[in-house]
Structure 1
Amino acid sequence: MKRSTSVKIALATATAAGLTVSALPAYAASPASSFTYKVTPIAVKSHFGKTPAALPAGPADCLAQTAGEFACQTPHSIRAAYDIPDTINGKAAGTGQTIVIVDAFGSPTAASDLATFSTAFGLPQADLSIYYPGGKPTYNGHDTQPSWAQETSLDIQWAHAVAPGAKIALVVAANDHGASLDNAVKYAVDNKLGNVLSMSYGESENLIHGNNAQQSQVHKTFAKAAAQGMSVFASSADSGSDNGAGYENFSLPAADPLVTAVGGTNLYAGSGLAQPRETVWGDYANCPTNCADGPFGATGGAPSLLTAKQGSDVAYNASVYTGVLTYLGMLGGDNNGFYFFGGTSAGSPQWAGIAADLDQATGSKIGSVSNYARSWARSGMLYDVTEGSNSTPTFSGGYSASTGWDSPTGWGTPNVGAIIDSLTK
């Protein structure tokens, strides 16, 4: 199996039950941006194709069907691994909450991909609204648009998998410039679209360093979100502790102290592999299976060049080899179907879904998860990842997991049931 090469993009628009599209006038301007945010969804086409009946029952079944290479995860296996309840107080997990997902360009098949995914895995159909605060972009499938389209489908599908009762507000920036995406986040916060927000994108700090106006502007937005009790998440990036720069640096917006940065792990739970439950996602140092397709990446996590932050706050499954099954319908013809997806960008929307579940369970806003992570970890409600490293070929001085907090995986991965129990006693 080879990596996905998204060269042909379908231009058809998509509709689905529960979809609301809000084409809005351009939102307020911001300082000129000297950088673009990037997404790095890592997708490998599965051999399960488009047929739900062919999908594996779980990681062990997937591993058997792929000759020991992919221990892929389904919504059921992820919920089992992290003890995420199907229902809370008799209603679908996430009911009464709205998860905000921010991406650029969007996807022409976002809604229909979500509907296909939900049907395949027996989830309720999602209540999806799409907002275009900078005006609706024209999707042409060129340049970085295919990556953003794949990221969009990944984000909304897996937020829905973790919190199937929650509404989803997809806020689509007109392009991937820093100012455009920061304005999309500002729109979501100013209009209080939801109590949780996920950003599965970022830029290496060495490419932002010195752009103080841009960094200051988005920090003000995060401060307003915090004041409103919002839970805000961002992915820690997928190129190790150096982000390809050859020296340690983190990623913005994950580096902002008001954002919960989600690092990545290899999740072995349910696979039958003789491994610890989880290790650091770092294919160059500790690839989890036979890894026949070679290394795909490593979680970010390092001391920030811009803030006092030292790396990830929490973590979640991110390896492609233990990746989540996601449906893509924008590629055209036989390229459409289910893909193995990895990257820390898969963890951010799932942690957002968990926050929605916690808000439902408590009847209040949980706010910043990073404020709780230390105490949750010390009470055994986060799994402490103690093995693996995020070193890369461009920077061997990556960080290793250790007992307690570490840069690649923060305080660890969630036991959601235990967290709910502790918050609702």
Structure 2
Amino acid sequence: MARLKGHRHSKVCADAPPGYASCHAEIDDEIAGPLAVGQLVPPGYGPADLQSAYKLPSLTAGTGRTVAVVDPYDAPTAETDLGIYRTEFGQTPCSGCFRKVDQAGGNSLPGADAGWAQEASLDVQMVSAACPNCNILLVEASSNSLTDLGAAVNTAVNLGASAVSMSFGGPESSGITRYDAEYFNHPGIPLVASSGDNGYTNATAPPTVNYPASSPNVVAAGGTTLNLDTSKVRGWTERAWGATGSGAAGPGSGCSAYEPKPAWQHDTGCPNRTVADLASVADPSTGVAVYDSTPSNGMSGWMVFGGTSAAAPVIAATYALAGPPPAGTSPAQLAYGSPWALNDVANGANGTCTIPYLCTAGYGYDGPTGLGTAQGLTAFTASSPPSFSDIPGSYPFYTEVTWMAYNAITTGYPDGTFRPVQPVTREAMAAFLYRLRGSPAYVPPAISPFKDIGPLSPFYKEITWLATTGITTGYPDGTYRPSDAVNRDAMAAFLYRLAGKPAYTQPGVSPFTDLTPVSPFYLEITWLASTGITTGYADGTFRPLNPVNRDAMAAFMYRYNARIGR
């Protein structure tokens, strides 16, 4: 799907007062109706796109599990619309997989609301997109009050939900902790709530972060802009949805004014609970396809939606695909223990704030996207990370080294060590860069381009691939010097060339005290600094001739992937 640039978007639901919830769906105002003559697929991302972007085993997992969708009011055409959606995208007919009940679990459905019906179609169809084998339970609350919605959540769990999608929220108020105990306290059941679409908010002044996303018992869903990019190993790139301007749309983020920080959340900018935890596509400019035949504001048929209302059901369905968490484990806690198994989103912002990570995507945890987006199911299960005997969980670069191992970029040494403070050799660096790019198909030459290595040399294929791509040129004497250590200036050059030599104007004043504009590799080093892949040392130096240790190399590669993409 091409990015729908320039289209107008609007909120499906108006903001709600305290004690009530609004939906968090954003609709593309310029797309609605039947498919045009000759149009093969609806606009917007479909199931195959989401499954590809988030590496979901949707075709083989999820059988026997139920994802509950909780929304207020009746969506009269939800089941019929789901059938049309599944048929259009080649999913098997939903024979007996859909059930709709009122908030008490009965058949006394509430009155219809066209706007909330659009929300329900979005939610139900996103569950189907991510987990087509799952059963879907739509629980319709009598109203959009948190009391009614909370009762519907209780009913969903009592009826056997494996996970619950809650694409709604309202402003925090002093009484919300009561709701935690009465409605949003279901250990072992992932309750996933959208974080809102108003961008970063300050806990000390309205508008506040959204509840129930701010509940410590809930997984808060942030949002991204998702774009197809076949030049990358993943095939996709993501950034935080939103902008830095005041009042710009984007996923909700910030500090709770009332909810305590859960034990598994360790960011330092909020003394209380921080929103969000995880993210998925939410930008309506890269939105998802939805079919809804209940007219609202003159729009029906095939439409494109975004908002964190799109993210919550995808994340809830991902939890359902993964299966139940271990007893006594918070579902959100699982991801915090496995950040190395997620797509870390390190670009974009959803507002302006004094503590940058609360509104700006960066390495590791941030407000707009939390820990990142799904990369398969590992972060949604009680997983055992790939480990090295000399990299304990407390090691400063534990996440980065484990990420490299998880993605098969490093295997460590045969004795089970990683040897983090050992310098990286040039031959090992060639292997790391080759694997970072996904081990592309390549036939090495029969005659070596370097006089000190041959076809039987270790890492010959990887080194010659590096030369073929122009990432390395070797030395002027025709050697490669495979056993030499890689210096920090050469590492900068390697990564700059791996990124395709992006357009960049080097600064007139060096950001490092030991470099000047005439230093070797000055452009490459300052480019690396401009991306945040390197910050240099605390004393303001870069130390270009120092060898790169293996743990620092892991950090460089992790950040390169998060910022540039493999």
Superposition deviation, residue 183 in structure 1? 1.1
2:111 paired residue number: 138
| Secondary structure at 1:391 match in 2 | coil
1:268 paired residue number: 227
**One-letter amino acid of the counterpart of residue 302, structure 2:** F
The answer to whether residue 23 in structure 2 is matched with residue 39 in structure 1 is yes
Q: How does 1:194-343 map to 2 (within 5 A)?
A: 194-205=161-172, 209-210=173-174, 212=175, 215-223=177-185, 225-226=186-187, 229-242=188-201, 249-270=208-229, 277-283=237-243, 297-307=249-259, 308-331=272-295, 335-343=299-307
2:516 paired residue number: none
2:460 paired residue number: none
Select the residue among 351, 375, 381 that pairs with 2:341.
381
Select the residue among 124, 131, 139 that pairs with 1:156.
124
Distance 2:303 2:248 in 1: 15
2:361 paired residue number: 401
| Secondary structure at 1:347 match in 2 | helix
The answer to whether residue 342 in structure 2 is matched with residue 370 in structure 1 is no
Deviates more, 1:349-358 or 1:128-137: 128-137
2:370 paired residue number: 410
Greater relative contact order (CA < 8 Å, ≥ 6 in sequence): 1
**One-letter amino acid of the counterpart of residue 341, structure 2:** M
Distance 1:367 1:100 in 2: 20
Superposition deviation, residue 49 in structure 1? 3.7
| Secondary structure at 2:284 match in 1 | coil
Is 2:191–2:219's contact at 8 Å kept on the other side of the alignment? yes
1:123 paired residue number: 91
Is 1:6–1:331's contact at 8 Å kept on the other side of the alignment? no
| Secondary structure at 1:300 match in 2 | strand
Distance 2:181 2:40 in 1: 42
Is 1:128–1:167's contact at 8 Å kept on the other side of the alignment? yes
Kindly provide the CA deviation profile for residues 163-200 of structure 1, in whole angstroms up to 9, marking residues without a partner as x: 001101110001111211111112223x2421111100
The answer to whether residue 73 in structure 2 is matched with residue 105 in structure 1 is yes
The answer to whether residue 310 in structure 2 is matched with residue 358 in structure 1 is no
Superposition deviation, residue 103 in structure 1? 0.3
Superposition deviation, residue 138 in structure 1? 1.9
**One-letter amino acid of the counterpart of residue 36, structure 1:** Y
Distance 1:180 1:54 in 2: 41
244 and 267 in structure 1: CA distance in 2 versus 1, 3 angstrom threshold: farther
| Secondary structure at 1:54 match in 2 | coil
Distance 2:177 2:380 in 1: 34
TM-score by length of 2: 0.57
2:470 paired residue number: none
- Percent of residue pairs identical: 29
105 and 387 in structure 1: CA distance in 2 versus 1, 3 angstrom threshold: same
1:17 paired residue number: none
The answer to whether residue 134 in structure 2 is matched with residue 170 in structure 1 is no
Distance 1:264 1:3 in 2: 16
302 and 382 in structure 1: CA distance in 2 versus 1, 3 angstrom threshold: same
365 and 269 in structure 1: CA distance in 2 versus 1, 3 angstrom threshold: farther
Structure of higher CA gyration radius: 2
Is 1:99–1:356's contact at 8 Å kept on the other side of the alignment? yes
254 and 333 in structure 1: CA distance in 2 versus 1, 3 angstrom threshold: closer
Superposition deviation, residue 221 in structure 1? 3.1
Q: How does 1:73-88 map to 2 (within 5 A)?
A: 73-88=45-60
Distance 1:113 1:244 in 2: 39
How many residue pairs align between the two structures? 355
**One-letter amino acid of the counterpart of residue 161, structure 2:** G
Superposition deviation, residue 218 in structure 1? 3.6
**One-letter amino acid of the counterpart of residue 43, structure 1:** I
Superposition deviation, residue 296 in structure 1? 7.0
**One-letter amino acid of the counterpart of residue 300, structure 1:** G
Is 2:278–2:369's contact at 8 Å kept on the other side of the alignment? yes
Superposition deviation, residue 112 in structure 1? 1.0
Unaligned segments of structure 2, at least 5 residues: 1-6, 260-271, 386-566
Distance 1:402 1:322 in 2: 21
| Secondary structure at 1:303 match in 2 | strand
TM-score by length of 1: 0.74
**One-letter amino acid of the counterpart of residue 291, structure 2:** Y
Unaligned segments of structure 1, at least 5 residues: 8-32, 63-71, 140-144, 287-294
Q: How does 1:188-199 map to 2 (within 5 A)?
A: 188-189=156-157, 191-199=158-166
Is 1:299–1:390's contact at 8 Å kept on the other side of the alignment? yes
2:39 paired residue number: 54
| Secondary structure at 1:301 match in 2 | strand
| Secondary structure at 2:304 match in 1 | strand
Superposition deviation, residue 328 in structure 1? 1.4
40 and 248 in structure 1: CA distance in 2 versus 1, 3 angstrom threshold: closer
Distance 1:271 1:247 in 2: 42
Kindly provide the CA deviation profile for residues 232-251 of structure 1, in whole angstroms up to 9, marking residues without a partner as x: 11011100112899657311
Kindly provide the CA deviation profile for residues 189-228 of structure 1, in whole angstroms up to 9, marking residues without a partner as x: 3x242111110000022xxx22x2x5313434332x11xx
Is 1:266–1:280's contact at 8 Å kept on the other side of the alignment? yes
285 and 398 in structure 1: CA distance in 2 versus 1, 3 angstrom threshold: farther
Superposition deviation, residue 324 in structure 1? 0.5
Kindly provide the CA deviation profile for residues 304-323 of structure 1, in whole angstroms up to 9, marking residues without a partner as x: 11112111011111100111
245 and 116 in structure 1: CA distance in 2 versus 1, 3 angstrom threshold: farther
**One-letter amino acid of the counterpart of residue 54, structure 2:** Y
2:310 paired residue number: 346
334 and 234 in structure 1: CA distance in 2 versus 1, 3 angstrom threshold: closer
Superposition deviation, residue 106 in structure 1? 2.5
